[in-house]
Amino acid sequence: MSDGFGLDHLPYGVFSVAGGPRRVGVRYGDGILDLYAATGRPEFDQPSLNAFLALGPEVWRQTRDQVRGLVEDAGLVAIEDAVLHLPVEVADYVDFYASLDHASNVGRIFRPDSEPLTPNWRHLPIGYHGRAGTVVVSGTPVTRPSGQRKAPGDDAPTYGPSRRLDIEAELGFVVGAPSELGAAVPFSGLADHVFGVTGLNDWSARDIQAWEYVPLGPFLGKSFATSISPWVTALAALDAAWVDLPEQDPEPLPYLGPGATRGLDIDVEIELNGEVVSRPPYRTMYWSPAQMLAHMTVNGASLRTGDLFASGTISGPEPDQRGSFLELSWSGKEPFTTSDGTSHSFLEDGDEVVLRYSAPGIDGGRITLGEVAGRIEPART
């Protein structure tokens, strides 16, 4: 049994074998249960999870019970024989900014003579609408983006490959059940609409981002690639991982459920070229998943099956808990060093980053969420 992928986990993904059709499967140990072969249900003979996700929470619950009764006796496809694909056809992608420590660090870096947090930060979960079409599955190479960048001392912007390419270690939330246009989803509706979570790396070109983001926020500095895990962990597998949020001061407005929503105890590891360089804790996040969902829909914006929203960079209070290289190197002014003596600030061509996640399991052990890997390729000329 592969650690972290037992009966208490059973994450969903999409796989194929030897160029055959893509189908929905569930990971168990080092194997994959072909759900269409095991059940004959047509929603599993699909190239994405969307048809299954659209069936809603009662079907999700029944299916999890059914799978738990099938995996130990069924023939499994070996992981090494399968190709893993993007698990969800992403409808819309929204990225939040929910870590107090990350937002404070970024504020100190970019606005050293001002308050680190913007006036609205403690009142609402800040986010931006990203590009769904560039969400890619773990293992997909990431091409260094090009664009306009202007250093503070430059007289005018220049065009070229990003010189400050970065990562953001995040957690993604996958929407299954849609909502009606014009109807807000309450903070109590997380489990009614969100199927599960997936690891996520929001690759970021900091120099392109810094020049373009005023006044409308991130655009080309973020839209070139976002990597997610091939596995989606059902919320039901995280029942033992819920924890109280850090204190929210001032108390959020009632629609954000102050005191009624909770965070998740998920540990993250950031590995650069085979060495762990940071361990951010998701449990320190200021805004909860339910609050992000409530805010995202409070204006009547509808949810669609396949929507993906992300937490924003996960950073803790300690220097070795920072979830981006921007923070780990303090914008390049304090490079960090790996055990081979190499100094690092932003990503170089050929660098490989792997994000790993684990959480308490419902059976008393720990579950291992699917990892997110990406290797930087040179910019295309």
Residue 344 designated active-site: no
Instruction: Say if pTM beats, i.e. exceeds, 0.85.
Output: yes
Span 303-319, mean pLDDT? 98
Helix (H) or strand (E) holding 293: helix 289-297
**264-268-274 Cα angle (round to 5):** 170
Site of tokens 């998701």:
282
- Mean pLDDT, rounded, of the chain: 96
| Cβ 189 vs Cβ 175: under 8 Å | no
Please give the average per-residue pLDDT across 362-380, as a whole number: 96
Share of the chain above pLDDT 90, in %: 94
* pLDDT tier for residue 162 given thresholds of 50, 70 and 90: very high
Q: 113: which 2 tokens?
A: 């003579």
- Which of 9, 102, 295, 344 is catalytic? The answer is 102
Q: What's residue 1's pLDDT?
A: 44
Rounded Cα distance between 67 and 71, Å, is 6
* Count of helix runs (H) and strand runs (E) in the chain: 8, 26
Query: 141 preceded by cis ω (within 30°)?
Result: no
pLDDT digits (tens, 9 = 90+) for 23-40: 999 999 999 999 999 999
Lowest mean pLDDT among 73-82, 88-97, 303-312: 73-82
Give 2's pLDDT tier (boundaries 50, 70, 90): low
pLDDT of residue 153: 86
Residue 202 reports pLDDT greater than 70: yes
* DSSP secondary structure code for residue 281 in this structure: B
- Residue 113, pLDDT > 90, answer no
pLDDT band at 315 (very low <50, low <70, confident <90, very high): very high
Domains of the chain: 12-85 (2.30.30.230), 93-377 (3.90.850.10)
Q: What is the pLDDT of residue 342?
A: 94
